[in-house]
Structure 1
């Protein structure tokens, strides 16, 4: 076993998987630690597809531990609700499969009320109790995770700021973020949806929005394709996860006149048959490099005319995870119908991973 790190954490081997580029072009440190804190590392990062290979000089063993632990973490945000606990347990299963450490993050924001020229805050003792409650929440969730996954590497933190600010900051060094979707009533759903959208828009890594009822990724992985840069990132993530979990892949592409930037009824515009042939060719180009890289992943191709969000929501009924880019190519369509990723986080029947081209 590798020697203990200076902060008392323990390094151990764990595989890292980061998707490589497709052939087609176009495309924070923890403030506190859970007592059972363990960090994962590999003894020779230069031989893997991961963050260890980007540095100019070889790392010492302790540097390797710090770098890989920071960049491979699965970060899950919790607020004490039953759904956030379930999301954390789902994320723990994902982290275990990925061989990644897990970080459980909480936040408590002090409200201020405008009174004349000054702001009045809640009493300090009430504020302290709120922070203690948040700390108990992350500690209890960590205990629940370790009870089910005793070999997991778990850290925790509670920050005095908004949940969005916490998650975005942690995304700078995380492998991916996981947040829960409560869906408990129209007002709560609208507020949560706004926060989720803010996180996915600003995150430096993929964001998974957990959906109620999700248990494990044992069904096919569904990926939405439109040829955009973020879609290409999503395709790479989808292939990598499908290979890792030993499941098949469903590649779906929906097109309409607005997504093509033209109305089919206009003179001189291409007919639907021609557009569909172009879209099938686009899908083949998007998948070509990845299909060769992951020959173990069987792929089902679906190309249909219609609304992308509607198609993906319907297909999500038989998927374990949906992977999409944060925004696609159809600017006009987004303006009229809204973001596909935003629609999915509210209506999909399984967790949704949102990828950015970063």
Structure 2
């Protein structure tokens, strides 16, 4: 079934932009969707109001590089354009008519106002209607697939959207799901010496129960998808970054009721986007 809405990808002439383009093309092909690649010239970065200088960037070279890459990939159903404005805002507006938004973690040109990519960080807060995928410069498009999708699970209703996204992608690619719930013990439990049974780890039991409840509906809907789960006593960023070393994608929700709730724009989001070894998908609840 062909999807009429495109997969939107931000390009900027950097290696980051090209690997984001590669990821987006593969995702578009998987979903039988067209690809829309956009280079945003940030007008606020232009100095002076006179005529363009000789050799000024008009986007021609960036679009040419993108076309060469798409030709190498054999991807034909793509449109490319140059826009003017703030990159994050322009991509946000275009994302409302797309199935997903893909950006690189870092880059040059219009995407480099902040290190960690102002565009990827701003879009984490803005892209509330479609999944946002941030592709790190450490991801190797030519590397072997791990066939594993890691999902940060917090037990919230909003987090079910992240699980839906992960299971749909796992079913389409044959990947397995690893559901992870992280608990920072020092904030929730007393000193182990005060427990009646010091060998017992109540946070693991609670996490496993939460994971089972959150995953059971999806395992029933997708019985052919292999699923693992793990409750971990550690900070969510450390857990997800560690698991990302052996994953093709880490999926998290945009809002939640635990530490993962900071993923709208807080420290967990910044930490994960900075430290993940594989692409990260932030899936917002439509009403959040």
Whether TM-score is above 0.5 comes out as yes
Structure 2, unmatched stretches of 5+, are none
Match of 1:312 in 2: 240
Please report how far the alpha carbon of residue 332 of structure 1 lies from its aligned counterpart in structure 2 after TM superposition.
Answer: 11
Distance 1:189 1:350, change over 3 A: farther
Cα deviations across residues 320-358 of structure 1 (Å, max 9, x unaligned)?
Answer: 1111112432369959xx533321110011111111001
Match of 1:138 among 63, 88, 94: 63
Counterparts in 2 of 1:88-127, with a 5 A limit? Answer: 88-111=21-44, 121-126=48-53
Please report how far the alpha carbon of residue 127 of structure 1 lies from its aligned counterpart in structure 2 after TM superposition.
Answer: 9.4
Match of 1:196 in 2: 120
Q: Does 1:297 align with 2:225?
A: yes
Moved more, 121-130 or 303-312: 121-130
Q: Is the 8 A contact 2:203 2:233 kept in 1?
A: no
The alignment partner of 1:254 has SS state of strand
Q: Segments of 4+ in structure 1 off by > 4 A?
A: 268-272, 331-335
The alignment partner of 1:252 has SS state of strand
* Total equivalences in the alignment: 274
Measured in 1, the distance between the counterparts of 2:67 and 2:208 equals 46
Measured in 2, the distance between the counterparts of 1:241 and 1:189 equals 32
Match of 2:4 in 1: 69
RMSD: 3.1
Measured in 2, the distance between the counterparts of 1:332 and 1:299 equals 21
Distance 1:171 1:258, change over 3 A: farther
Measured in 1, the distance between the counterparts of 2:42 and 2:220 equals 48
Please report how far the alpha carbon of residue 135 of structure 1 lies from its aligned counterpart in structure 2 after TM superposition.
Answer: 3.7
Match of 1:56 in 2: none
- When normalised by structure 1's length, the TM-score is 0.68
Match of 2:283 in 1: 355
Counterparts in 2 of 1:18-37, with a 5 A limit? Answer: none
Match of 1:243 among 153, 171, 193: 171
- When normalised by structure 2's length, the TM-score is 0.84
Q: Does 1:129 align with 2:95?
A: no
Match of 2:84 in 1: 160
Match of 1:206 in 2: 131
Please report how far the alpha carbon of residue 183 of structure 1 lies from its aligned counterpart in structure 2 after TM superposition.
Answer: 7.5
Measured in 2, the distance between the counterparts of 1:313 and 1:135 equals 37
Match of 1:170 in 2: 94
Structure 1, unmatched stretches of 5+, are 1-14, 16-40, 42-67, 114-119
The alignment partner of 2:53 has SS state of helix
Please report how far the alpha carbon of residue 106 of structure 1 lies from its aligned counterpart in structure 2 after TM superposition.
Answer: 0.9
Match of 2:72 among 110, 133, 147: 147
Distance 1:287 1:189, change over 3 A: farther
Match of 1:215 in 2: 141
Q: Is the 8 A contact 2:236 2:259 kept in 1?
A: no
Cα deviations across residues 214-254 of structure 1 (Å, max 9, x unaligned)?
Answer: 31783211111111244221111111111111111111111
The alignment partner of 2:140 has SS state of coil
Please report how far the alpha carbon of residue 275 of structure 1 lies from its aligned counterpart in structure 2 after TM superposition.
Answer: 3.4
Measured in 2, the distance between the counterparts of 1:286 and 1:324 equals 14
